[in-house]
Amino acid sequence: MTKRFLLLLALMMPLWATAQVLRFATWDGSENLDIQRRIAAAFEQRHPGVRVQVEAYGGGFNQKLSASFGARNPPDVTMMWNFPLYHRVLEPLDAWQARDPAFDAADMVPGLLRFATVESRLYGVPAGFTSQVIYYNKDMFDRAGLAYPRADWRWEDLRTLSQKLSRPSAKVYGYGLDVAPDPYDFQGYLWSAGGRMLGADGHRVQGELDSAPSQAMFTMLLGLLDQGLAATLGVGDGKNQRQLFVADRVAMLMDGAAFRLELAQDGKRYGVAPLPSFQGRPAQSVVSVSSLAMARDSKQKDLAWQFIKFYSSAEAVRLRQGDLPVLLSVARELKLQEDPLVQPFYAMALSMQEVPAFLLNPRWTRASGVVRDAIQEVFLKKGDVQQILARAALKAERKLQ
């Protein structure tokens, strides 16, 4: 080491030693992690003497977070979605919100705060969200001379379009169906049919997952596969949905807001439409919300609240790209509800009437694996639909006891 470097190190060490460190845990990686760090840097600029330590837990997020809470050494602030499971180790934010005039809950997209509310207490502040829509491949539609999907379309319309777009012999399909989906995302299919995975009481799975409406939706989707109108995503030749969509082998598929960024990188021409209605019922989508929460054991709660508030401010919300702005003022400023590639996401978010299973029962994570396996069994045609769903409903209900 040179004398100049040692002198510089000696000068900087007192600054590091006196900096107030705020720990922030996130599940994000790649480009989204870079955005998290930019938000943290902007916060540091406004709070001299504070350093935000961004802890990227990645795919091991739940395990690492649980271990930190168990050791009574959690990050001060953490990304959070499963509030029913974690709320006992989190700081209630109602009082912080109530005494802070800068926090405007009325500016939040309606319905998002309920994802961070347990037993009428608020434990998190939403930072980003997405709903599910149908992406359609404009190149495939244009070559077939077909009109793009309308906002008031039905699953019957999707089937008709798929018949005109599909060429199974060439492995070209009208629709791409994820046959090994996250059960959370699949709830939108069942809600749109009048079914659900878990009853409103938070305990009953039998008579819900295997109900007549749920079976009707599964049967309709199976029909698309049987008729060669849908590709099976999630299994098979290893090609992911992005590759198939960009290669003009899948004309329509369901996904959230992050898929827009992938297609933009590919320069792909695409459109988005709301989910189709089923048997005269209005379509419903799940909404995925990422929020920020404060650890109950944090030793610097004032600073943690300032970071949460900043992260949910218009300045920070504008920086997020993998999901959609949670603030109505930012959506208006960016004219997102006038953008045909974004407006359907907001429309589907506002259409959600059902309550996701994990908000009804904190033990739902024990049962969701059973449901995931049953969905895959149905679509891989490993038995009778009714019998598969009935067995899964019984097993999942026992997991909740």
pLDDT digits (tens, 9 = 90+) for 71-87: 999 999 999 999 999 99
- Average pLDDT of the segment spanning 9-33: 73
Tokens of 401: 């006891």
Share of the chain above pLDDT 90, in %: 82
DSSP H/E element including 176: strand 173-178
**123: three-class secondary structure by DSSP:** coil
User: What Rg, from alpha-carbon coordinates, does the chain have?
Assistant: 23
The Cα 374–Cα 5 span in angstroms is 62
The Cα 206–Cα 50 span in angstroms is 52
Q: In terms of Cα–Cα distance, which of 181, 275, 171, 278 is closest to 228?
A: 171
- pLDDT tens string 122-165: 999 999 999 999 999 999 999 999 999 999 999 999 999 999 99
For β-strands 77-80 and 287-294, DSSP reports them as antiparallel
Poorest-pLDDT segment among 189-193, 233-237, 354-358: 233-237
pTM: 0.91
The Cα 124–Cα 294 span in angstroms is 7
Query: Higher pLDDT residue, 34 or 277?
Result: 277
- Average pLDDT of the segment spanning 103-127: 93
Residues sharing a CB contact under 8 Å with residue 374, sequence separation 6 or more, in sequence order: 209, 388, 389, 391, 392
The Cα 203–Cα 149 span in angstroms is 38
The Cα 136–Cα 245 span in angstroms is 9
Task: Read off the DSSP letter of residue 384.
Answer: -
Residues sharing a CB contact under 8 Å with residue 186, sequence separation 6 or more, in sequence order: 371, 375
